Structure 1
Amino acid sequence: MIEQLNDVQKIELEKQWEVLSYGVSSIIPEDEFKEKIAKSIKNEKPLKVKLGLDPTAPDVHLGHTVVLNKLKQFQEFGHTVQLIIGDFTGKIGDPTGKSIARTALTDEEVEHNAKTYFEQFGKVIDMEKVELHYNSKWLSKVGFSEVLKLASTVTVARMLERNDFHNRYEANKPIYLHEFFYPVMQGYDSYALESDIELGGTDQEFNVLFGRQVQEHYGREKQVVLLMPLIEGLDGVEKMSKSKGNYIGVDERPQDIFGKTMSIPDALLMKYFELVSPLSKEEVQEVKRKLDEGTLHPRDAKMKLAASFVEMLHGKEAARQSREQFINVFQKKAMPDEIPEVMWKGEEELLIVDLVKELGLLPSKSEGRRMIKNGGVRIDQEKVTDVNQTVQVTDGVVVQVGKRKFVRLRSSS
């Protein structure tokens, strides 16, 4: 197909290849991907690009934008994004990385989580140009004889090659038969929608490759798989995850997104630029060049990165204000212009550890004591050094915990 392209089409092919392959961990297989792009250009027919969503945790964080940014690039070239809500597969739950079987979701949970996904994904990709599908539409109609035929395409030994199943088998933990059908059903989604491309994280390789297997079983053209790298969270070690507390949520306040970004370890700075930021490849390369030359301080690079995240999720003005507030609060040690206010109806005098817990600034008194010992609690900008210190609640007093949490108390007395 590539040989059939004219010179203008070949230039377009190289342009799409350079952008769409950038930042991808692996393309399976590469030659087929380039052929699919060429075929799309030649026939003026957009590629169908699939992303399956397991609606178990609706909170989207910047780790998810690694895939979302790639989908956005496909959209910009005119290709069609297929978002698959696994309302049927969600009844099983993806076993990837799990040491026990997943709890099945209710219909209400799936509906709520899916709605949240749509709202948050819309901050990165154009949801008006997305095809939305629920896989119960076709999977609920598949007969048992057809299920048996699909099951015959994979061996139990192949399933046990998966680390999660292998580890549970070795530890003598139960593996339920229905869990084996998750990747088979995910592969059937690709067949039902005639997907050309499927995206997923590197931890999803086993699942997304099933699409090729099922499509081949039915005599269809096989999809190409693009595996995206996983991004470490703010701790610099674990995969970004809300459960690990090392995440930046796409729905967080602009100043919180900015502040959290500034705590990213220097060693991960370029990975975040390349995989998460909306900046172009050329802009990212320019940042890398300046960092390597020593003409750009890592702190200033982080500020550029933080501003790009806030602009992507909240707009240019929010990015500008967040940057100014960060400089005022953390570089000039001033308080932010806008501080959340709380009407205090409790005791007029109480221990500082009780106060920060009551305000929800910290989850427990023990965490409050730890934060005080580390110098992370201030009253009207004065550092609290005594865990047994009492606070006189007066109108306008400002309580600060850590670098980003401020509350101004209002008293009716």
Structure 2
Amino acid sequence: MIVSQPVAESSPGASLQNFPRLRRGINEVFPELPDSPNPEENLGRRLAQSDRPLRIKLGIDPTGSDIHLGHSIIFRKLRAFQDEGHTAVLIIGDLTARIGDPTGKSEVRKQLTAEDVERNAQTYLDQLRPILDFDTPGRLEIRRNSEWLSKLDLAKILDLLSRMTVGQMLAKEGFSLRFEKENPIYLHEFLYPLMQGYDSVAVAADVELGGTDQKFNLAVGRDLQRYFGQRPQFGLLMPILIGTDGVQKMSKSLGNYVGLSEDPLTMYSKLEKVPDSLIAEYFELLTDRPLDKLPENPRDRQKLLALDVVTQYHGEAAASEAQKAALTLVQGDAKRAEAVPEFSLETVEFPAKLFYILGASDLCKSGSDARRQIQNGAVRIDGDRVSDPNLTFDSPDELKGRVLQVGKKKFVRLV
């Protein structure tokens, strides 16, 4: 068996032009021939011609207890399909989670107990309520893949295993890297893509959603559906969200995440500091706002992003209070935002060290005083303490709109 590969296309998602909310932010659809009249090769045509709601599959393995905004991208896309009238099939991988998806892992995952998985699953569902439509009849099915996977006998498992070669498995990125480094690969891990693929057969999925790192698994689902006589699903891949550090993918272990269960003030404070380079992507993937109507000022965009996202998960009133509280934290004793004086970065030659900016803005008496204040922990940027006296900024864009603070009463807004 050859694992399906996406059909080359000149404009990813072009066949979805009539479905702007479904098209928004996607990385790839496969197979996808935008000009093809065949609904087997054109998701837009499949959506338009179907005489029934399509079944949109998303599988989640509750291997932890928290969901962050990086995870939310794909659930928001699932909600978009719900709002178009289709059925979201949310599969809780209560059996596959006990293996753990080997995708992107340099070593075998720790196996979880059934109790661990069920406890995590409940916390996941609680956190997903602000995103998915749980109430409209016919819009959501919640299934656990132990319903069908636990019933597979050895003959059926052998049949599934015969659908794929060891070479094909080793072509999967995570496995190939581990093989090259001579890290152990256990046989039960080879079962994971087949089990996830069989989930598509069990629920008769029309479309499966996944991150760009799930392409292999989604393609296996297409192949197994074809083998079992079903119409193969489309694969729809969403991008991986870069974390608030602006460098690596959002991850709790890296500390660059915004959790869905975090309090409004924590969420707001993190989001209003998202690097300018990520603002457009965050708006596209985490909100429904028109991208051509965003504020021009970077600081205003940050505030709007934070307010929008917090509103989604905590409501408008809580988001407004979080915004006021965040402003108070940044300003210290300053009573109003207008009371913070501005300092023009046009007078600074970049690259520039922070201690120089502190001296030039008259927040500190001199460069040596500025270094001393930084070392004493008295200097903050947007409320975050700075500890490196040699911190350097390459461009004024890194500082525009931010509040520079020394002690409790000295502030300037950098413009």
TM-score (norm. length: structure 2): 0.74
Distance 1:322 1:164 in 2: 41
For residues 287-314 of structure 1, the C-alpha deviation after alignment (integer angstroms, 9 at most, x for no partner) is: 2xx5xxxxx2100011010010011011
223 and 110 in structure 1: CA distance in 2 versus 1, 3 angstrom threshold: same
For residues 226-269 of structure 1, the C-alpha deviation after alignment (integer angstroms, 9 at most, x for no partner) is: 00000110111111011111000111111111110011111111
* Contact kept? 2:98, 2:117, Cα under 8 Å: no
Distance 2:212 2:379 in 1: 38
**1:236 match:** 246
- Pairing of 1:247-258 with structure 2 (within 5 A): 247-258=257-268
**1:149 match:** 159
Per-residue deviation at 1:374?
3.9
* Contact kept? 1:16, 1:77, Cα under 8 Å: no
Aligned with residue 86 of structure 1, among 65, 90, 93: 93
205 and 14 in structure 1: CA distance in 2 versus 1, 3 angstrom threshold: closer
- Pairing of 1:322-337 with structure 2 (within 5 A): 322-331=322-331, 333-334=333-334
Per-residue deviation at 1:221?
0.2
- Pairing of 1:255-404 with structure 2 (within 5 A): 255-277=265-287, 279-280=288-289, 283-287=290-294, 296-331=296-331, 333-334=333-334, 373-375=376-378
Distance 2:120 2:215 in 1: 24
**1:24 match:** 26
86 and 41 in structure 1: CA distance in 2 versus 1, 3 angstrom threshold: same
**1:198 match:** 208
Distance 1:214 1:203 in 2: 19
- Three-state SS of the structure 1 residue aligned to 2:108 is coil
* Contact kept? 1:62, 1:276, Cα under 8 Å: yes
**1:344 match:** none
1:127 aligns with 2:130: no
Aligned with residue 147 of structure 2, among 137, 155, 171: 137
Distance 1:284 1:331 in 2: 30
- Pairing of 1:87-102 with structure 2 (within 5 A): 87-102=94-109
- Three-state SS of the structure 2 residue aligned to 1:235 is coil
How many corresponding residue pairs?
328
* Contact kept? 1:196, 1:224, Cα under 8 Å: yes
Distance 1:333 1:134 in 2: 53
Distance 1:68 1:232 in 2: 17
45 and 333 in structure 1: CA distance in 2 versus 1, 3 angstrom threshold: farther
**1:168 match:** 178
Distance 1:222 1:99 in 2: 31
* Contact kept? 1:37, 1:47, Cα under 8 Å: no
Distance 2:28 2:44 in 1: 17
Distance 2:183 2:154 in 1: 28
**1:105 match:** 112
For residues 145-192 of structure 1, the C-alpha deviation after alignment (integer angstroms, 9 at most, x for no partner) is: 121121111111111112211111111111111100100000000000
**1:340 match:** none
Aligned with residue 63 of structure 2, among 47, 53, 56: 56
Tell me, which stretches of 5 or more residues in structure 1 are unaligned? 1-12, 291-295, 337-370, 386-402, 404-413
Residue type of the partner of 1:248? V
Per-residue deviation at 1:316?
1.0
Aligned with residue 81 of structure 2, among 43, 60, 74: 74
Residue type of the partner of 1:20? L
* Contact kept? 2:16, 2:44, Cα under 8 Å: no
Residue type of the partner of 1:19? R
* Contact kept? 1:118, 1:127, Cα under 8 Å: no
* Contact kept? 1:198, 1:208, Cα under 8 Å: yes
* Contact kept? 1:27, 1:227, Cα under 8 Å: yes
Per-residue deviation at 1:372?
7.0
* Contact kept? 2:31, 2:41, Cα under 8 Å: no
- Three-state SS of the structure 2 residue aligned to 1:64 is helix
Distance 2:130 2:209 in 1: 19
Distance 1:308 1:33 in 2: 37
What is the Cα-based RMSD across aligned positions, in Å?
A: 2.7
Deviates more, 1:188-197 or 1:92-101: 92-101
Per-residue deviation at 1:142?
1.2
Per-residue deviation at 1:99?
1.2
* Contact kept? 1:262, 1:303, Cα under 8 Å: yes
Tell me, which stretches of 5 or more residues in structure 2 are unaligned? 1-14, 34-38, 337-373, 388-404, 406-415
Deviates more, 1:243-252 or 1:147-156: 147-156
Distance 1:78 1:175 in 2: 42
Residue type of the partner of 2:125? F
Residue type of the partner of 2:113? T
Residue type of the partner of 1:49? I
* Contact kept? 2:59, 2:90, Cα under 8 Å: yes
TM-score (norm. length: structure 1): 0.74
Distance 1:33 1:227 in 2: 17
14 and 135 in structure 1: CA distance in 2 versus 1, 3 angstrom threshold: closer
Residue type of the partner of 1:111? E
